[in-house]
A = this chain, B = another copy of it.
């Protein structure tokens, strides 16, 4: 990696770090892009050369969730259904927030800020097509099969559904209970 790309990555990182620090400190709406630019010692417009929007500053680290999602379906243990594998994956995601306090702070920030909640949801839902594709492939259904797409959509929705609910674990389980039975019938029809 050349010096150029290293410097670019460095400014990008500096911006994301400064943004997160300021957001956690003062709250998202109380920090302007100018503040962030100044904290990272660059001009305001430079921020938008690195990030498409103010919200994108928060969701910098792309912890390739899509790959994990796909792996959860494809590499599930023998005898486990697709909905069950997805349910376990979602519950695991929830559990991650419980031990890492930094991640918990991050989640609390994104949940309490409407703009960030929406943005995060959009990012998360982008994986619908990819998830639907693995499900279809796994079930031997044609690409773009509505039942597979619906399962993908609903499964992804569960994390948004669980938020703000008193018992989020139970909410996820109830949601997947709803999906599991219908899926077993649909899957039987396919193969």
Contact partners of A73 in chain B: CB under 8 A: none
Q: Which of A38-90 contact B (CB under 8 A)?
A: none
Pair B149/A171 contact, Cβ less than 8 Å: yes
Once bound together, how far apart are the Cα atoms of A157 and B149, in whole Å?
12
Once bound together, how far apart are the Cα atoms of A157 and B167, in whole Å?
22
Main secondary structure of the interface of A (DSSP, over half): helix
Bin the interface of chain A by size: 20 to 34
User: A109 to chain B: closest CB distance in Å?
Assistant: 20
Contact partners of A151 in chain B: CB under 8 A: 178
**Nearest opposing residue in chain B for A152, CB measure:** B161
* B122, B146, B170, B181: the one within 8 Å of A165 (CB): B146
A116 within 8 A of partner (CB): no
Pair A146/B118 contact, Cβ less than 8 Å: no
A22 within 8 A of partner (CB): no
Contacts A147-B178, A149-B161, A154-B178 supplied; 15 other A-B pairs, CB < 8 Å: A118-B118, A118-B122, A145-B174, A147-B177, A150-B158, A150-B161, A153-B157, A153-B161, A157-B157, A174-B186, A179-B179, A179-B182, A180-B182, A181-B184, A181-B185
Pick the 5 closest A-B CB pairs, nearest first. A146-B174, A178-B182, A181-B182, A150-B175, A181-B181
